[in-house]
Structure 1
Amino acid sequence: MDNEFPPRELVGPTIQKRKKEKSRAVPLSKELLARKNEIARVLGTKVDQLDKQLRSLTDEQRRTIFYKITHDGPVKISGIGLKPLTDRSESITLAVPTGSDLHSFKEKIQAFAADIPKKDRVKHPELARIEDVERGDPKDRLSDELFAKYDDLVKKQYVICEIEILSLLNGRNKQREEIRQILADLRSVFANGIHGTLFEHEEREGVCRAVIRCTGEMFRRLVEEDRWQRRISWFEPKPKFETFQTVRKNFKIQDLETISAPNDQVPIICIVDSGVSSGNPFLEPVTKDEMLKSFLKHSPDNPYDENGHGSGVASLAAYYALDLNKGARNSGKAWIASARILDASNQLEEERLFSKVIEEVVKEFVPLGVRIFNLSVADLAKKWNPDNKRTQPRTSWTARTLDRLSREFDIVFVVSTGNIPLNQIREYINSEVEYPSYLCDSDSRILDPGQAGLALSVGSIAPSTLISQTADTAIALAFEPSPFTRSGPGIKEETKPDLVEFGGNLLRSADPLWVQSNLATNVVMASHQLSPAIAYDYGTSFAAPRVANKLAIVLNDLTDMGPANVSAPLLKAFLINSAGYRGDLNHLQEHLDRKRWLDVLGNGWPDAARATECDDYSVILFHQGRLGADQVAFFEIPVPAQMIDSTAKKRITVTVVHDPEVQKWGLENYFGISLKWRMFRGDVDQEKIIDGMSTAEEGNDESETVDIPNELKYEHKVNRRSRGTVQHDWCEWTQHREEFSNNHYTLAIASYKKWQRKVEPTKIGVVVRIEDLGGTVMVYNEVRTQLDILIEQRAKV
């Protein structure tokens, strides 16, 4: 950061209550209207049969069944005598009857059939999207991975997995009591370890997540027996993480200059991984023994790395890159804390619950001043691919935990997207699904918990095409997506990864086809040993800590600059606002679905220097604060009229980040508040903007316009960029007219309440960069002067 040109704080916004439009019934398509009576007849017949079956059961029998509803698009099942059993999805809902019959369901179907359409609208239009209703199969509660192996699992000596225990009772006390009873019943049938063991468990709002180990026969009973059908709502495998394999090169640490420690004031990054070996010459200067801790129950006094993954990650978080050239200086930019959660085989201890361990880590290190946590481990068994789920898409318990902790402690998690295995890449190419197209395949989706809504998810790009000792060729060109990087989107179909960093490249041979790594295309990092001191590997695991390193640099700059208590949303907004795309973006867009390239490259490669750096021709404006539900914040953005003097491109880059409450289970919209922002030129009457933004409701990607002229045309459509907690976009123009700056530009940020219950305000971080790319207009001084005038005007009011 240039101290002569520091970022400038925006004048506080004007806040208005957003006017809500009356809800309007959604019209049915002509095709569905034509089939309305047939849909009602078929659906009514199925529900009538289920109703008769339900009436014939005893109360005890009714408490053991659930239904599977298949639908085309989201549906609400309230008011029809059913209650969701698991997370709702776009296509399938598992639900339980709330009474002794389905009379309410039948009544709605009859009303739907009898209603005469008016302007293509009918009563209960969601019924038209229901394709089937049937009694659920016990195995519908299995994840895809367990379902595929079920016949083999029930024959095994023992099975270890995670389960979700559910209480459907009303009232917190009743729910907790029922969960306690279910846990007691589980311990009873496990018979003190003879048939199984209940390990760690974590309770939250009527749901309990637990780790169990049991015999194959007991696993079958828990899945198929009536008494467990509604008590255990979900089964999925334990997390499984990638191991660390390295190739070491002959290297002499004594050939380097002194490796220097960071100063005492720089931020601390906590590496949540396999531990850190502080005896390594690169790691010793950036670690302190009291900041190295083990969360292993079997090795609580051993925080040190036994396989190399955590040490490699830590070195990149501290230095960004290691310079091995003779006489090179390596200077740490961050202190490293370490939370060892993985054992010598790079796996979580079998009795431990991943989410609970992470919460223990956060509560241990936040009081020590840690704001940035790097989690470069991804669950190989869990691809975030809701379109491909057999039953329910899972808003992951672990990802949800990261989001909850991020908001509660005002911290930033940096997570990796995970890697596509080499054998899978070979299969793609053998099947003539070439790079980069296969990166968008459903089997190449982001690994859990990379989809976390409040975490920064990081994918990988290739640093170069340099190859050592082989005639094979690199798959990716420099700055293109690494051949192994996984793609989004995230929980709310938002852009994931958020950012990309250098994580390596892969090679391919022509005849025979082979895909492999190479010493020169891998990332150099510290090993977990004194000698050899370095290791080489590739992966998004090693891209993520480089983003953590840049976050620490930005946090240090902002702390020096002086805004009190830099919030996590503002910290993320500064770094993401600096991001851009390197290499030939047009080439990539030609080979990827134009709507999907963001799911591979995210918002681009971040530049820590640019994040806080202004000059004569550019200025960064920022704001941090809170925004309540159904409010609109209006910011005045000074854009100099002198822009008319420049014939070069002008650019405004806007990043808005917020940290809404997240659902504790899965029965509501994931975020309690969503945001949407727009920017308008200075030749628009501000009262029109206020009226328009106050009434503008959310829509889909095709309904983008609000009837206000002279809105700036940004790169992405407004609803596309508004899906998640990170909303980043830019606008470029060449010709600037004097009337554009008649008044200040207006940045309007609207919030939308998504839950029926009370929603807490969300913290927001706003960063706006204004620049004359031709270097003609003295943007910084002009904007600074206009901000000073604004401050004086506000003071007089």
Structure 2
Amino acid sequence: MASETFDTGLSAADIWGHGTKVGGAAVFGDLRDQIASGQLRKSVRLVSAKIITDDGQFYDRRTLPNLMRTVFRGLNERYGCRIFVLSLGDKKSWFERGRVGPWAMTLDELARELDVLVFVSAGNRSPRGGNVVEQGVTQYPQYLLEEANRIFEPSGAANVVTVGSLSHGSGLAAQHRDDAHVRAITAGPNEPSPFTRAGPGAGGITKPDFSDLGGTMLFSAVTRSLQSAPIVPEAGITTLNHDFVRQLFTSASGTSIATPLLARKAALLLQRFPEASANLVRALLAGAASFPDEMTTRLQAMDALETASVVGNGLVDPVKAVYSDDHRVIYFAEDQLDIDKFAIYRIPIPVEFQTGGKRTIRISLAYDPPVRRTRADYLGTKMDFRLIRGCPVDHISNFFRSHAGQESTHPDMPPRYDCDLKPSKTQRGGNTLQTGSITFTKDTLDYGNEYHLVVRCMGGWATDELRQRFAIVVELEHQIGVQLYARLRPRLRT
């Protein structure tokens, strides 16, 4: 553990208390389970950097970009920090659609320059107050899509990981379960938190990228107010308290808590793959994210774009991100591409995967393009991918080579070859973190024992000399009981 302050007028002590809550969630996760077991187990190393005043304010919002450069470069050089958590936001700086601010652009530049992971909270908003406070219950979750609930600086940045919040439960304490004066907003875990903000981000890209547990809210008819942690401890995540002499633990809620919980999962990934790039970790997280049943049920009235703007790619299962299973195999690669070039990757498809019921292929791509606020198109390059089946590789190569120079769109092969991945290519195409999957229920023997993944780098305003870094992750998942990993492991070694 280490701590630093980046203003000569500040001590390193956390007087405001927000940093201790965030740091506790990053090191221990939700402490509620660990406290019950009687043993605290930390899993990551934490360096605390104090950049706000003792009353939780920024000294000068205009100097934040330069401050970020000083903090990131300093901690990266002195401590080797590769994961940065910013559970902060500038409520005075709203995103105009398609635009980003200088703070967000600086984070994008630092993520690319230092090859680090930057996790930023999506921000919080109390949904209702005054005479309409009851609508916090009756109009949930529709108000999450309101214009006033959109993310603000710097959570719309393209190369960072923006994190929204999910409920961990109803938030009702034992004494509230039979109290008609207290109502829960969320019915249980994995539903969007009533306070979480929604995207999109820079240039309309999907934000947040993911969601994690960050607490919920309750409606009190007696006080006519929406209440959350720490007033109602059960409504939040258990973490460390800065005033530890008085009370060691506290409860907190917000996207500020969900963000370090996801960053902790990324840290576990880096422990498993210490040489992995930031792009690879982002792609592995995307490949392990899903929409829990509770989330899907609650958001069933929203379309795919609206759902993504609230919860992103969903909730990450860290075990799935790190390990293959008997019935689930993960391939990954890190690579670079010149502008207007493409790469073709062979994906082995064993006979066991061509039959036998429900099977899924999932592709995840992460890249870190150069950015520029002064350009109409914020991203200097764009990338995309297609999954092709039943087509000889030389035919695939000739087809995409013949479409070289078409920078605006990724060419599509005839539908009989092109796998129809979901989300659609239109929905995922502008993102620097993309994921798409296809599920088969019928036999696919006619398509042979290998598919091909085409990854293309499309030029924007970036120079021809640039080589764009990226990482690609491919997951093949069959039904439990099918020995897919044992079948594919020998082929992987060759």
Q: TM-score, normalised by structure 1?
A: 0.58
Aligned to 1:464: 169
Aligned to 2:382: 674
Task: Give yes or no for contact 2:327–2:478 (8 Å, CA) kept in 1.
Answer: yes
Question: Compared with structure 1, are the counterparts of its residues 432 and 526 closer, same or farther at alpha carbon in structure 2 (3 Å cutoff)?
Answer: closer
CA distance in 1, matches of 2:480, 2:44: 35
1:481 corresponds, among 163, 174, 192, to: 192
Q: CA deviation at 1:382?
A: 2.2
> Are 1:308 and 2:20 counterparts?
no
Aligned to 1:19: none
CA distance in 2, matches of 1:718, 1:425: 43
Moved more, 529-538 or 320-329: 320-329
Alignment-mate amino acid for residue 254 of structure 2: G
CA distance in 1, matches of 2:216, 2:137: 20
1:377 corresponds, among 82, 85, 88, to: 88
Aligned to 2:451: 745
Which has the larger Rg? 1
Question: Compared with structure 1, are the counterparts of its residues 573 and 351 closer, same or farther at alpha carbon in structure 2 (3 Å cutoff)?
Answer: closer
CA distance in 2, matches of 1:524, 1:327: 14
Question: Compared with structure 1, are the counterparts of its residues 428 and 670 closer, same or farther at alpha carbon in structure 2 (3 Å cutoff)?
Answer: farther
Aligned to 2:44: 334
- 3-state SS, counterpart of residue 492 of structure 1: helix
- 3-state SS, counterpart of residue 452 of structure 1: coil
Q: CA deviation at 1:523?
A: 1.5
2:59 corresponds, among 349, 353, 367, to: 349
CA distance in 2, matches of 1:425, 1:744: 61
Task: Give yes or no for contact 2:407–2:459 (8 Å, CA) kept in 1.
Answer: no
CA distance in 2, matches of 1:431, 1:553: 36
Alignment-mate amino acid for residue 225 of structure 2: W
Question: Compared with structure 1, are the counterparts of its residues 555 and 511 closer, same or farther at alpha carbon in structure 2 (3 Å cutoff)?
Answer: same
CA distance in 2, matches of 1:525, 1:432: 26
Aligned to 1:445: 150
- 3-state SS, counterpart of residue 430 of structure 2: coil
Tell me the alpha carbon deviations over residues 512-563 of structure 1, each in whole angstroms, 9 at most, x when there is no partner. Answer: 853222221112110112321112221000000001100000000112xxxx
Question: Compared with structure 1, are the counterparts of its residues 704 and 510 closer, same or farther at alpha carbon in structure 2 (3 Å cutoff)?
Answer: farther
CA distance in 1, matches of 2:457, 2:411: 16
CA distance in 2, matches of 1:583, 1:509: 28
Provide structure 2 residue ranges, at least 5 long, that are not aligned to the other structure. none
> Are 1:322 and 2:31 counterparts?
yes
Alignment-mate amino acid for residue 470 of structure 2: I
CA distance in 1, matches of 2:264, 2:319: 12
> Are 1:688 and 2:395 counterparts?
yes
Task: Give yes or no for contact 1:660–1:672 (8 Å, CA) kept in 2.
Answer: yes
Q: CA deviation at 1:304?
A: 1.5
CA distance in 2, matches of 1:629, 1:510: 59
Q: CA deviation at 1:782?
A: 2.3
Task: Give yes or no for contact 2:166–2:214 (8 Å, CA) kept in 1.
Answer: yes
Task: Give yes or no for contact 1:296–1:343 (8 Å, CA) kept in 2.
Answer: no
Question: Compared with structure 1, are the counterparts of its residues 715 and 510 closer, same or farther at alpha carbon in structure 2 (3 Å cutoff)?
Answer: farther
Question: Compared with structure 1, are the counterparts of its residues 607 and 733 closer, same or farther at alpha carbon in structure 2 (3 Å cutoff)?
Answer: same
Tell me the alpha carbon deviations over residues 469-521 of structure 1, each in whole angstroms, 9 at most, x when there is no partner. Answer: 43312112321100000001110211111110000001124688532222211
CA distance in 1, matches of 2:69, 2:130: 35
Task: Give yes or no for contact 1:480–1:583 (8 Å, CA) kept in 2.
Answer: no
What is the count of residue pairs matched by the alignment?
A: 480
Provide structure 1 residue ranges, at least 5 long, that are not aligned to the other structure. 1-286, 387-392, 560-564, 792-797
CA distance in 1, matches of 2:251, 2:296: 31
CA distance in 1, matches of 2:456, 2:190: 35
CA distance in 1, matches of 2:459, 2:132: 45
> Are 1:567 and 2:277 counterparts?
yes
CA distance in 2, matches of 1:584, 1:417: 21
Question: Compared with structure 1, are the counterparts of its residues 705 and 437 closer, same or farther at alpha carbon in structure 2 (3 Å cutoff)?
Answer: farther
- 3-state SS, counterpart of residue 748 of structure 1: strand
Tell me the alpha carbon deviations over residues 151-184 of structure 1, each in whole angstroms, 9 at most, x when there is no partner. Answer: xxxxxxxxxxxxxxxxxxxxxxxxxxxxxxxxxx
- 3-state SS, counterpart of residue 462 of structure 1: strand
Question: Compared with structure 1, are the counterparts of its residues 442 and 641 closer, same or farther at alpha carbon in structure 2 (3 Å cutoff)?
Answer: same
- 3-state SS, counterpart of residue 421 of structure 2: coil
> Are 1:787 and 2:488 counterparts?
no
Tell me the alpha carbon deviations over residues 214-241 of structure 1, each in whole angstroms, 9 at most, x when there is no partner. Answer: xxxxxxxxxxxxxxxxxxxxxxxxxxxx
Q: CA deviation at 1:428?
A: 7.5
CA distance in 2, matches of 1:524, 1:547: 15
Task: Give yes or no for contact 1:651–1:772 (8 Å, CA) kept in 2.
Answer: yes
> Are 1:533 and 2:248 counterparts?
yes
Q: TM-score, normalised by structure 2?
A: 0.91
Aligned to 1:294: 5
- 3-state SS, counterpart of residue 384 of structure 2: strand
CA distance in 2, matches of 1:424, 1:689: 58
> Are 1:542 and 2:249 counterparts?
no
Question: Compared with structure 1, are the counterparts of its residues 576 and 425 closer, same or farther at alpha carbon in structure 2 (3 Å cutoff)?
Answer: farther
Tell me the alpha carbon deviations over residues 597-628 of structure 1, each in whole angstroms, 9 at most, x when there is no partner. Answer: 11101001111111021122111101012111
Task: Give yes or no for contact 1:653–1:770 (8 Å, CA) kept in 2.
Answer: yes
Task: Give yes or no for contact 1:715–1:730 (8 Å, CA) kept in 2.
Answer: yes
Question: Compared with structure 1, are the counterparts of its residues 431 and 575 closer, same or farther at alpha carbon in structure 2 (3 Å cutoff)?
Answer: closer
% identical equivalent positions: 27
Alignment-mate amino acid for residue 523 of structure 1: I
